[in-house]
Every structure is written in C-alpha cells, then in structure tokens.
Amino acid sequence: MHAQTVVARLSPVPTSLVFVALAIVCALFADLQISASDPWADLGRFGWGLLTPDFLHSQNLLSAVLYTVAFGVLGTVVGAVAGFGLALIFRFRIVRLGAAFIRAIHELFWALIFLQVFGLTPLTGMLAIAVPYAGIFAKVYSEILEESDAAPVRALGKDARPISVFLYARLPDAWATMKSYTYYRFECGLRSSAVLGFVGLPTLGFFLESAFSQGYYSQAAAYLILLYLLIATLRVWLPAKLTVPAALLCAFALPSGTGASWESVQRFFSHDIVPAPLRDGIDLGSLAQFGDWLWMLSVNQVWPGLVNTVLITQIALVTTGITTLILFPLISRKFFGWLGVGSGHVLLVILRSTPEYILAYILLQIWGPSMLPAVVALTLHNGAIIGFLIGRTAERLPVREDAPRGLNLYGYEILPRVYGQYLAFLFYRWEIIMRETAVLGILGVHTLGFFVDSAIAEIRIDRALFLLLVTAALNMAIDATSRRLRARMQLKHRPDC
C-alpha cells in the first residue's frame, strides 16, 4: 500500500486576492501612460469614422472579404480534421505535448514562419490558422470524448474491436458537443484570418491597417464593420452543414501556387533556423561563439521580452476579471430591463467580435506606445467573452421567490453561485491572454513578439525561432499552472447552485 498524498483544497477567494496583489505589483513596474499629445482628438476622429463608414472608396473590399473567409474557413476545417486525428491518440504524452506546443504559438507567429517558407501564398494563410487550431481542437475534442458517457463502452464485450467500440459507444455521445464547438470555432477562424492581414496577407486586417495608418478613418471603419457583419451573419451564409463543402470550394478557388521552391524549404530547415555561429560546422570555437550568441540573445531580448510579457499578462488577467464582474449583469434580465439587456448584448457582441489585436492596434495609434493599449484591448475583448458566458449562466440560475434585488441579489445570490465557474473561465483564458500578449509585440509593445518580429525583419530566423521556443515554453508553463490551480480549487465549468 502506498500513501496517498492529500492536497489541501485552495480557497477561490484568497487565491483571487493573491492574483490581484500580484497584478498591483506588476502595475508598479509597467509602463501604462498615454504618450500621445492629443489622444482624445484622435479617438474622436476615429469615432466619427465609425459613424461614417465609407464603403464606396475603400478598395478591394470584395477580395478582402473573400480572402478572409477563404483562409478562415479552410484553416478551421483543416485544423478540425487534424485535431480530431490527434484527439484519437491523445493518450500518448508526446501527442499531448506536441498539441500543447503548436497551440502555444499564436497564428500570427505561425504566419511569420510560413511566410519564410512558402512566401505570400494562400498556403501560408491556411496553415497559419490550421496548425495552432489543430492543437486546440485536439485538446478540446479529447476533453469532450473523455467526458462522454463511458457506460455504453463498459456494456460492450471486451472482445469488441476498438474502432467499433469507439464509433458505436463513444463518438455518438460526444458528437453533438464536438459539432457545436467546431461550428463556434469558425467565428474565431474569421477573426484570426482578418488579423493575418497585419503581417501582409490580403485579408481585412491588411486594408484596415493601411487605411488607418494613412488617417482614412471612415475607410478603416468600413473594413471593421464588414468584419462584424461577417461574424454576426455567419449562421446565415455558412450553415453548419455547408462548412466542409465550403472549405473544399475555398481550396479549389484559391490560387494554388506555393511560391516556394524546394530549395527555399530546404534552406529554411538546413540553414536559416540553425543558430548563426553553428552554420559553418560545430567545433569548439563555434560552440563558444554559440554560447555568446545564446547569452547575448537571452540578456538583450529574451529576458526583457519575457518580463514585459508576464507583466502585461498578469495585469490584463486581473483587469479582465474585474471587467467581467461589471459586464456580465448587463445581459441578465435579473438586473436590467429589456432595453438595458438589449444594449448590453450589443456592447458585448461588438467587444468580443473585435480581435484584441485590432483593438490594440487602434488604441496604440491613438494613445501612443506603452503597455496600456495592450492591457485595455486584452481586457475588453476577454472580459466581453467571459462576461457573455457568465451572464448567460446567471440568467439561467433559478432564484427563490423571496430573493433580494439589485446589488444584494448580485452579491448574495448570483456572484457566490457563479464564482467558481467565473474563475474557471478566467484561468482557462490566462494562457490565451499570454499568447495574445506575446503577439501584440508585433505592434511595438516590447513583449516577446516584438523581438520575434524584429529578428524576422532582420532575416535572423535563428533568433526568431529561439524566441518563439521561449514563448511557447512560457505558454505551456502557464497552461500547466492554470490546470493545477483549477484542479486544486476544484473548479468546474458548471455553476454551484
């Protein structure tokens, strides 16, 4: 008999307070100022642009929409198919680690890598979405399969073939959930696809950035509003049944040239990604140089990038949490009338449909460079997502006849019941917030992505790759920490009634 280690349960509220304290410490070291000389005037001009979107003079509207849809749909479908395959063999540690690794790297980073290999081609756009999505699908599918009812499997004989057992007894129970999750991911795929424009692919983000940077706010607004419309009407133009045929159509419609010669692929793997000091062979001298290379890279880029990424992540995690607590009652009839809940829904839909990357870009242009735009963008986007989910739960909670109203209802009845679920979602998104924080560096905030982007601009792919490995490691560490914390707090996604 071996002793069973009993781990004490962590209390949710004190744990939350520790995170708040950490965020306050981080805020002391973070650069959170508005440096633009007249930020509100710019904000006003952009606001005016939003009210007067210019669809007529915006160029390439149709092609931007088509490319956004094509990359988004194709990338999501390929990612889902690959992720399903990975989910079937998810019990192998190497598969779990591999999936964690590919989803730890943001789709924009994947785009930067594939741009080096395949150039500015549709293949780059498709793979940039499909690869990280495959990692996410693998994880979520395997979780769904795990949670599916195991009783039918036990009822079958031990001599039944594994594939038949899976198809008859496991998959049917999980299928509906998997389908609805996959369909939801198309919305994310469209957002990701739009953002790919920021590294040069011809999607909505590309034209939004160029219009915005020239001060054509009404045109920029047109691209943004088109993105909202695309996402809002997804269920109309892409019914769940048509997703796979649509993906096939996209695959055939896109120009097929890879733009990559075999040599360029070969060069990428045998030369570009090899640390510069080691390219001419490995001997004592080059190893010593490699040591220096590693040291300089760590001190000058990895360390500052890591510190800034963690600072912003921890601040944004807590501000997201606070914002969620304010936002979720907005969509519940328990707190507001029809009109209030209606406008609450509109606000949350707009906030969560705006990719944090685009939001951060706009705020950076308006407020000037600091960590503030990144924190605010992450907070608004993620707060709206979790706020929507918690608000929906709160709305469904049965409340006794004699329950209090207003703030008392919030504090005594609703919040204590949804708090576990709220923390579970927040910790779930911790890793996502970090991944986004890293990638916001491309916009100029000095997180890890900033150094990755600079290295690629200097065609120092070896450095970029090393920085990306560090980024992935940080992300996997946060993922693991979050999982342990959720287990220690026994957080479930369901509300405590």
Instruction: Give contact residues for other proteins (rule: CB under 8 A).
Output: 136, 140, 144, 147, 176-177, 180-181, 184, 385-386, 389, 392-393, 398-404, 406-408, 411-413, 416-417, 419-421, 424-425, 428-429, 432, 493-494, 496-497
Q: How far is the CB of 305 from other proteins (least distance, A)?
A: 26
- Indicate the residue among 159 and 401 with the shorter CB distance to other proteins: 401
From residue 416, give the alpha-carbon distance in Å to each of 145, 319, 388, 420, 496: 30, 19, 17, 8, 8
- Indicate the residue among 319 and 482 with the shorter CB distance to other proteins: 482
Q: How far is the CB of 10 from other proteins (least distance, A)?
A: 14
From residue 373, give the alpha-carbon distance in Å to each of 32, 280, 312: 8, 43, 10
For residues 181 and 148, give the distance between their C-alpha atoms in angstroms, rounded to a whole number.
14
- Indicate the residue among 83 and 202 with the shorter CB distance to other proteins: 83
Q: How far is the CB of 463 from other proteins (least distance, A)?
A: 31
- Indicate the residue among 287 and 399 with the shorter CB distance to other proteins: 399
Q: How far is the CB of 116 from other proteins (least distance, A)?
A: 29
Q: How far is the CB of 329 from other proteins (least distance, A)?
A: 14
- Indicate the residue among 140 and 249 with the shorter CB distance to other proteins: 140
- Indicate the residue among 206 and 335 with the shorter CB distance to other proteins: 335
For residues 106 and 471, give the distance between their C-alpha atoms in angstroms, rounded to a whole number.
10
- Indicate the residue among 160 and 407 with the shorter CB distance to other proteins: 407
| Cα within 13 Å of Cα(264), Cβ side | 11
Q: How far is the CB of 403 from other proteins (least distance, A)?
A: 8
Q: How far is the CB of 388 from other proteins (least distance, A)?
A: 8
Q: How far is the CB of 383 from other proteins (least distance, A)?
A: 12
- Indicate the residue among 221 and 433 with the shorter CB distance to other proteins: 433
